[in-house]
Structure 1
Amino acid sequence: MPDATTIDALIRCRAATYADKPVVIDSDGRLSYAGLDTSSWELAAVLVQAGVGKGTRVGLIMPNSAAWVRTAIAVTRIGAVLVPLSTLLTPPELRAQLRAAAVQFLIGVEEFRGHRYFDGLPDERSVDLPALQQVWPTGCLAAAAAGPGPVRVLDAMTESVTPSDQLVVMFTSGSSGPPKGVLHSHGSALGAVASGLTARCIDSDTRLYLPMPFFWVGGFGGGVLSALLAGATLITEEVPKPETTLSLLESERVTLFRGWPDQAQALARHSGTTDLSALRPGSLEALLPPKLRAEPGARANLFGMTESFGPYCGYAADTDLPEKAWGSCGQPFEGMEVRIVDLETGAPVPTGMIGMIQLRGPHILRGICGRTREETFTVDGYYPTGDLGRLDEDGFLYYHGRSDDMFKVSGATVYPGEVEKALRAIDAVTAASVTSVPDGGRFRVGAAVSGDGLTVDWLREQARSLLSVFKVPTVWLLVEHPDAIPHGPTGKVDKLRLREMLAAGLHTASTSVNHQRRERK
């Protein structure tokens, strides 16, 4: 695979090699590598004529489609900085992210799934959004034509872009707190994606279906840039639904399905006579025939974050881990340094001990909007992730949840991630989220769980066989569907809202018990 350390160099190289091959297929058609090169070049000329240049922050808000990919490539190949924005954002959230990333031009659909994005945005610079210069509905931009001047300067503009130039501001957030605008360069993002292609089983023969929105790093890096780097074909749709997704998987002979396990399980329940024989190992196993599935825990769960531009740790998705490393996230990819430090002192801990994960290397973030380098990195250049983990003697990483989620029960430490992993291993459980629930001056373990035919008594009994007694949830919330577990705009579980829901259930149960006691009196 030739080195390609900027988006423009990557597009030129792939168009020359895979000219007529589809790079993106959506419900409206398909876009070839040569077509992406030509159409993004034409769109880039329109952007230049409108005042977009190297370093200009350009927001993009639209659902997954070939048009999303074309627009993102047009923006980034001339050195402008892409700011993907979630189609789930409310108007106040959108304004906050436009302000945080200092977006100067906004491109997007006016409405999607009941969300109207441009209503209330100023037509010109305002005190609230001082950087915003222009808002372009996608239809208006598509109809525009560039003059000869911008076309002539495009070569010079693309040649001026270097691997160290900013590529993208990706918004992320933890289970609580405001979103962070994470900065990545062309070199850091493409390097991060390239380092994980083998573990994700993506090559030039891959026909990849990935349901994750392109405005998340899992969609942009794991989908769009992965396909471009590998010379693969990406299949996508605006709104995944079992019937349309299964039709795409069959008709497009999808070979690799990556995404959310609960979606794969839902599709498996609806698959019926759908021909999924093209799917190969490395896909989510619910859609694979039993003979191609691994034993529970035998395959690594790729582990990463927006700050590392996706997975930084893993193992070949179609290959069993060494047996003693089952349950791990695999090993750090080439170019990534991982160390585990004490939460209080910041000193490295011995092998096998749990501490905070810190990262260093050429593929990590370049910075965070509104934060200084001193606020973002340690003095020796590591990024404190806030995640808890441990490394064994062979360098396999085990995840133990978030440092801001851990809590004490009767003096013993509970890691919600560990409890969630155990609950998800129980048959019939499709999703589980765990957090602390305040109860007077102490904490209790609370869990929201979805699945078929579950009861609290049965879940409690199963959990006791997998967890120490103090880790077994004592506050339960059974939900019909994983979507009932609250999520924030970046897709992560909103632990604050979850804690409120569990606390409300605890209060109701306590009230009921007290009422029964009064009745008996």
Structure 2
Amino acid sequence: MLDRTSAEGAVVTDAQPEGRTAGPAPGPGLGPGSAGRVDGLLAAAAAAHPDRPAVIGETRLTFADLDARASRYAEALRPLIAGRGAPVVVSSAPHPEFMAAYYGAIRAGAVAVPMNPLLPDPAVERVIEQSGAVVALLAPQVFTRVEASRPRLPRLAHVLRLWDDAGEGGVLVAAGPGPTSTARAGGPASVTPVADGSDPAVVMFTSGTTGPSKGVAVSHHAVRTNAAQFGDAHGIDDRSVVMCHLPIVSPMHMNAAVRAGACQLLCPDPDIRSSVRMANAHRATHYYSLPVRLARLASAPELGGLAFDTVRMIAAGNQTIAAHIIKGLSERFGVPVFQGYGLTESTHLAHTDGPVEPRPGSAGPPVAGSRSRIVDTVTGRVRGPGEVGELQINGPQLMTGYVNRPELSPFDDEGWFATGDVARLDEDGYLYVLDRLADVFRHDGLLVSPSRLERALEAHPDVVEAGVADQPDGSRGRTPVAFVVPKDARSDSGPMQCGALLAAVNSSLEAHERIRHAVVTDAVRRSATNGKVDRKALREELARRPAPEVLDEG
């Protein structure tokens, strides 16, 4: 990795050789699998490892099984779509059938639109309508909900279930005004030709945590490149067994595992104990989970007896994990614990730490072939190492643009994408994310990061979980309010206890960051789709409450 410092002291962290041009372009040194079609990843794995398990979950499929099933989906879908590039929604429930349908839709020449099955009904309708999908392949629980929404989705012609009432997969069960019979095509499907890797492969929707969700168009090349970037950085190869304890099938993890010929374990049970048992039963080497689940694994007394037999690394993304949680997990399980950073617009991953000497609290350096920089949030001037500003990224895994949003110009003239995240880069190019730009606020004219305050609160021994939101504070701007889940819910949680807690936490904070109010709660409000703190909901709750007592004057 190369850090180039300008005459003004600004740093651009570049995980690529000198002389590379800016903008999304093919990255060098990414290894096999970065050129071609996305479904070609599965075809290559099936050819190299036909009898090896590809996925173990509700069912068990070898790579040959998965490839054949994807071909059946392709054959069944071709008569239903209007030529190459038609969007097909596929609900990403943690089930092997999603994998077959995802690759099958792409093999049919469609653009796959993964949809989180945990989205509320209005969000499900927005994804279907904004993507322009005429076909939706859905898990049973989503199928029923979408059927009820059909009158509001005039373009959606075909709604099909990914598995039947008996749990049998590989069957498209039709309903409503669409097709009227079960579709189960046999035989290999011909591959729809693609002119080059710039053709769209998938449309993914942003989470909508800080604003309305947007459809993100991603090319075949970007998906395959990011699979290589992720897999190579995390050491995923054909001997790996990848445990994904996530509420959905993550295409990033899936594509990296398939590219490497690795087995993927899907655990739909949210209970952490179930995932550990499954990981041990199948000799998992890599364990991925949500940060909120890893935080619980680190702190919940009832999980204290859990142990991994063969897992050699634990990792997460999605949001920053406090350094003390990473250190505690690593010491407890005796394996490296680390995190990465990405967003939908970067095909999920832009930075990642790795299993060799990870730095707690950091999301690591840029992935291979990409680069990052920090710019001033007001002037746009590139900032130096350690300085805080907005993160911008540039690399071959970036999206091609937003779907049906021509008014949005996501890239500057040199191909840099503004992430909307406030962060800093150290001298080695390691990334430290502070917060979303939309979540930070000013107190006495200085920026305050709610996520930083949450990490400070959760480092206190009496706190299990914390969330921070802001509220108006007259001429001082806005002030932070903490929502705190105490470690011992049976203890006295009156103002004196909160006052002592805030006094201890505030002693480590800058004057403008200090928390003056706290609310004791049973659980912090989080997004059902990604586990992030739902600051909008917390602000709404604050607006409904009487003005809280000032517990610490700072």
With the shorter chain as reference, the TM-score category is: 0.7 to 0.9
Q: Which structure carries more helix by proportion?
A: 1
How do 1:241-390 residues align onto structure 2 when only pairs under 5 Å count?
241-264=271-294, 266=296, 269-271=301-303, 276-282=308-314, 290=332, 292=334, 300-321=338-359, 327-372=361-406, 375-390=409-424
Which deviations, in whole Å up to 9, do the C-alpha atoms of 1:367-395 show, x marking residues without a partner? 11222276222232211111112223322
2:158 counterpart (105, 114, 134): 134
Q: 1:120 and 2:149 equivalent?
A: yes
Partners of 2:241 and 2:482 lie apart in 1 by 37
2:472 counterpart (438, 444, 453): 438
Which deviations, in whole Å up to 9, do the C-alpha atoms of 1:420-474 show, x marking residues without a partner? 3323333354433323222345311122233512752343133124212331222
SS in structure 2 at match of 1:197: helix
Q: 1:144 and 2:176 equivalent?
A: no
What is residue 90 of structure 1 aligned with on the other side? Answer: 120
Which deviations, in whole Å up to 9, do the C-alpha atoms of 1:338-377 show, x marking residues without a partner? 1221222222223332111111221111111222276222
Letter in 2 for 1:363: Q
What is residue 10 of structure 1 aligned with on the other side? Answer: 41
Q: Does structure 2 retain, via aligned residues, the 8 Å contact 1:79–1:161?
A: no
Q: 1:476 and 2:501 equivalent?
A: no
Letter in 2 for 1:497: A
Q: Does structure 2 retain, via aligned residues, the 8 Å contact 1:250–1:274?
A: no
Q: Does structure 1 retain, via aligned residues, the 8 Å contact 2:118–2:528?
A: no
What is residue 495 of structure 1 aligned with on the other side? Answer: 535
Partners of 1:393 and 1:245 lie apart in 2 by 37
Shift in CA distance, 109/35, structure 1 to aligned 2, threshold 3 Å:
same
Partners of 1:409 and 1:244 lie apart in 2 by 44
Q: Does structure 2 retain, via aligned residues, the 8 Å contact 1:479–1:485?
A: no
Q: Does structure 1 retain, via aligned residues, the 8 Å contact 2:425–2:431?
A: yes
Shift in CA distance, 230/458, structure 1 to aligned 2, threshold 3 Å:
farther
Letter in 1 for 2:60: R
Letter in 2 for 1:492: K
Partners of 2:245 and 2:106 lie apart in 1 by 23
Shift in CA distance, 498/52, structure 1 to aligned 2, threshold 3 Å:
same
Letter in 1 for 2:227: V
Partners of 1:252 and 1:320 lie apart in 2 by 26
1:170 counterpart (197, 200, 204): 204
Q: 1:37 and 2:67 equivalent?
A: yes
Which deviations, in whole Å up to 9, do the C-alpha atoms of 1:145-177 show, x marking residues without a partner? 3388xx6xx4251x3363211111111135332
Shift in CA distance, 92/291, structure 1 to aligned 2, threshold 3 Å:
closer
Letter in 2 for 1:241: D
Letter in 1 for 2:183: A
Q: Does structure 1 retain, via aligned residues, the 8 Å contact 2:287–2:311?
A: yes
1:485 counterpart (525, 538, 541): 525
Partners of 1:120 and 1:106 lie apart in 2 by 12
Partners of 1:102 and 1:291 lie apart in 2 by 46
Q: Does structure 2 retain, via aligned residues, the 8 Å contact 1:110–1:118?
A: no
Deviation at 1:83, TM superposition (A): 0.9
Partners of 1:91 and 1:328 lie apart in 2 by 36
Q: 1:464 and 2:506 equivalent?
A: yes
Partners of 1:341 and 1:246 lie apart in 2 by 41
Partners of 2:546 and 2:144 lie apart in 1 by 34
Q: Does structure 2 retain, via aligned residues, the 8 Å contact 1:79–1:166?
A: no
Shift in CA distance, 395/318, structure 1 to aligned 2, threshold 3 Å:
closer
Partners of 1:411 and 1:115 lie apart in 2 by 50
Which deviations, in whole Å up to 9, do the C-alpha atoms of 1:80-122 show, x marking residues without a partner? 111111212232222122111111211113426x972321313
Letter in 2 for 1:453: D
Q: 1:20 and 2:60 equivalent?
A: no
TM-score (norm 1): 0.84
SS in structure 1 at match of 2:149: coil
Partners of 1:69 and 1:337 lie apart in 2 by 30
Deviation at 1:74, TM superposition (A): 0.6
Letter in 2 for 1:472: R
What are structure 1's unaligned runs of at least 5 residues? 123-127, 513-521
Between 1:278-287 and 1:439-448, the stretch displaced more is 278-287
Q: Does structure 2 retain, via aligned residues, the 8 Å contact 1:60–1:82?
A: yes
Q: 1:235 and 2:265 equivalent?
A: yes
Q: Does structure 1 retain, via aligned residues, the 8 Å contact 2:233–2:352?
A: yes
Q: Does structure 2 retain, via aligned residues, the 8 Å contact 1:199–1:314?
A: yes
SS in structure 1 at match of 2:160: strand
Partners of 1:30 and 1:451 lie apart in 2 by 41
Q: Does structure 1 retain, via aligned residues, the 8 Å contact 2:308–2:333?
A: no
Partners of 2:335 and 2:518 lie apart in 1 by 31
Deviation at 1:266, TM superposition (A): 4.2
What are structure 2's unaligned runs of at least 5 residues? 1-30, 165-170, 174-181, 317-325, 490-496
Deviation at 1:24, TM superposition (A): 0.8
Partners of 1:350 and 1:327 lie apart in 2 by 19
Identity %: 28
Which deviations, in whole Å up to 9, do the C-alpha atoms of 1:153-210 show, x marking residues without a partner? x4251x3363211111111135332111111111112212311223334222221211
Letter in 2 for 1:361: G
Aligned residues: 485
Shift in CA distance, 506/332, structure 1 to aligned 2, threshold 3 Å:
farther
- Tell me which of the two structures has the higher relative contact order, counting C-alpha pairs closer than 8 angstroms and 6 or more residues apart: 2
Between 1:377-386 and 1:198-207, the stretch displaced more is 198-207
Partners of 2:460 and 2:106 lie apart in 1 by 45
Partners of 2:463 and 2:259 lie apart in 1 by 36
Q: Does structure 2 retain, via aligned residues, the 8 Å contact 1:401–1:415?
A: yes
Partners of 2:56 and 2:422 lie apart in 1 by 38
Which deviations, in whole Å up to 9, do the C-alpha atoms of 1:292-312 show, x marking residues without a partner? 156xxxx65311111112221
What is the RMSD of the two structures over their aligned residues, measured on CA atoms? 2.9
Partners of 1:340 and 1:287 lie apart in 2 by 30
1:182 counterpart (204, 216, 224): 216
Partners of 2:353 and 2:42 lie apart in 1 by 28
SS in structure 1 at match of 2:499: helix
Partners of 2:428 and 2:272 lie apart in 1 by 41
Q: Does structure 2 retain, via aligned residues, the 8 Å contact 1:488–1:494?
A: no
SS in structure 2 at match of 1:244: helix
Shift in CA distance, 274/252, structure 1 to aligned 2, threshold 3 Å:
farther
SS in structure 1 at match of 2:216: strand
TM-score (norm 2): 0.80
